[in-house]
């Protein structure tokens, strides 16, 4: 099974105070122990690093970098995927939908990934199955 991991899931796994932490931690352990192929994109990584640093501090950034990042297949957003993400963002014209979200959706479609580990409802709205 191939799963795309969103920032919302990374934050829930790392932050013991997150309302989804217990569920996220359990699911993360299941994915890792079963050998699930975990994907994300570089835009999600930039967003995750920034939010983890701001909310949880540098020790959590180090934990993410050393313990989680090596387990991921990272899809690097190219110019075409970036452009498609920008177009989708502008077409949607929604304040709470981000370029990171739209680029992630495009990356998932290009990779043929239909399932996301995410607590962000936008993935479901785009027709992806969410596994919280």
DSSP state of 127: T
Find the helix packing angle between 7-14 and 21-34, rounded to 10°.
Answer: 100
Question: Is there a contact between 25 and 13 (Cβ–Cβ < 8 Å)?
Answer: yes
pLDDT, position 45: 99
Q: How confident is the model at residue 95 (pLDDT cuts 50, 70, 90)?
A: confident
Number of domains in the chain: 1
Domain residue limits at 11: 2-76+114-130
pLDDT band at 132 (very low <50, low <70, confident <90, very high): confident
- Sorting pLDDT into bands at 50, 70 and 90, what band is 60? very high
Residue 20 pLDDT: 98
Residue 48 resides in a domain? yes
pLDDT in tens, 65-79: 999 999 999 999 999
> How sure is the predictor about 102, in pLDDT bands with cuts at 50, 70 and 90?
very high
Express as a percent the part of the chain with pLDDT over 70. Answer: 100
Whether 109 maps to a domain, the answer reads no
Pairing between strand 37-41 and 129-130? unpaired
Whether 125 and 69 have beta carbons less than 8 Å apart is answered as: no
The reported pTM is 0.95
Whether residue 37 is predicted with pLDDT greater than 90 in this model: the reply is yes
- Check which CATH number belongs to the domain holding 11 and give it: 3.40.50.1010
Domain assignment present for residue 51? The answer is yes
How high is the pLDDT of residue 34?
97
Domain annotation covers residue 86: no
């Amino acid at each position: 099974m191939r799963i795309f991991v969103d920032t919302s899931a990374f934050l829930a796994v790392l932050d013991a105070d997150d309302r989804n932490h217990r569920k996220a931690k359990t699911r993360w352990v299941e994915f890792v122990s079963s050998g699930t192929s975990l994907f994300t994109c570089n835009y999600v990584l930039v967003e995750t690093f920034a939010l983890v640093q701001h909310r949880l501090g540098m020790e959590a950034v180090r934990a993410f970098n050393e313990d989680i990042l090596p387990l991921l297949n990272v899809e690097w957003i190219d110019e075409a995927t970036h452009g498609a993400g920008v177009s989708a963002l502008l077409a949607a014209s929604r304040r709470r939908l981000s370029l990171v979200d739209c680029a992630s959706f495009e990356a998932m479609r290009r990779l043929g990934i239909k399932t996301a580990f995410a607590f962000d409802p936008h993935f479901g709205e785009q027709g992806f199955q969410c596994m919280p």
